[in-house]
Structures are given as structure tokens and as C-alpha cells.
């Protein structure tokens, strides 16, 4: 399993049909089960405890290998994150890649049931 946490600021912005940066990584690592994750937040945020009183920090994951994604999201959950599967590298990867992925920089929490209750 290869988790691509990088952001490619060098290439031209890929349009809706262009190859995503993680597809490029996958093409260059034949045989690897490539996932994209960790790239959308700063390192200091990632290093902090993801378990907040109100809920757990959301991490986005995309990838074409469902088994690898399941194992990785399980690991993230064990670490206290709230993973969200965005789909494959082409569609999901585009949502959290530079420069224009709409999920970049979004530091979200998945609220605990109790917190949701108090906010209703």
C-alpha cells in the first residue's frame, strides 16, 4: 500500500478530464495499491490529537483498491480520525488535490452523537 500525501504545485491545473496527481503517482508505482490521504491539512494539524471533545478530525481518503482503502480507513479510525471515502483516484482524488480541490484546507470534525444532540 502506498499512501500519497503529496501536493503537486508544479503541474498545470488538471481539468475535469485530466489525470490527477495521485493517478500520476500510481502510474509511476506499478503494482502499488495507491491511496491519497493526509495532503489536505498542515503537518501540525495532522500531528495533533484528532480526538476533540466535540468529535474526531475528518481525513479524506481516495483510492481505486477497495481492500486497501478499507484497511487504511480502519487504521485511521483506530488512530482517532474520522475518515471519509471520496471514491477513486480520478474522481475522489480531484476533490482534495491542489490547486482547486474544494476540500483542500477544510479542517472538519465529525461530531459525536452527544454533541449533535446538544446542537439540535
Ligand X SMILES: NC(=O)c1ccc[n+]([C@@H]2O[C@H](COP(=O)([O-])OP(=O)(O)OC[C@H]3O[C@@H](n4cnc5c(N)ncnc54)[C@H](OP(=O)(O)O)[C@@H]3O)[C@@H](O)[C@H]2O)c1
Contact 52, 109 (CB under 8 A): yes
β strands within 12-107, DSSP E: 34-36, 55-63, 82-87
Residue 5 touching ligand X (CB under 6 A): yes
Residue 99 touching ligand X (CB under 6 A): no
Residue 39 touching ligand X (CB under 6 A): yes
Residue 67 touching ligand X (CB under 6 A): no
Q: Site size for ligand X, by CB under 6 A?
A: 7
Residue 62 touching ligand X (CB under 6 A): no
Contact 35, 5 (CB under 8 A): no
The contact set with ligand X (CB under 6 A) reads 5-7, 38-39, 42-43
Amino acid at each position: 500500500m502506498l499512501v500519497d500525501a503529496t501536493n503537486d504545485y508544479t503541474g498545470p491545473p488538471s481539468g475535469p478530464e485530466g489525470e490527477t496527481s495521485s493517478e500520476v503517482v500510481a502510474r509511476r508505482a506499478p503494482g502499488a495499491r495507491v491511496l491519497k490521504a493526509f495532503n489536505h491539512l498542515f503537518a501540525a494539524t495532522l500531528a495533533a490529537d484528532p480526538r476533540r471533545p466535540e468529535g474526531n478530525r475528518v481525513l479524506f481518503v481516495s483510492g481505486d483498491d477497495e481492500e486497501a482503502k478499507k484497511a487504511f480507513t480502519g487504521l485511521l479510525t483506530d488512530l482517532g480520525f474520522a475518515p471519509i471515502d471520496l471514491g477513486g483516484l480520478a474522481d475522489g482524488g480531484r476533490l482534495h488535490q491542489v490547486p482547486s480541490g474544494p476540500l483542500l484546507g477544510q479542517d472538519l470534525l465529525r461530531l459525536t452523537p452527544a454533541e449533535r444532540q446538544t446542537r439540535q
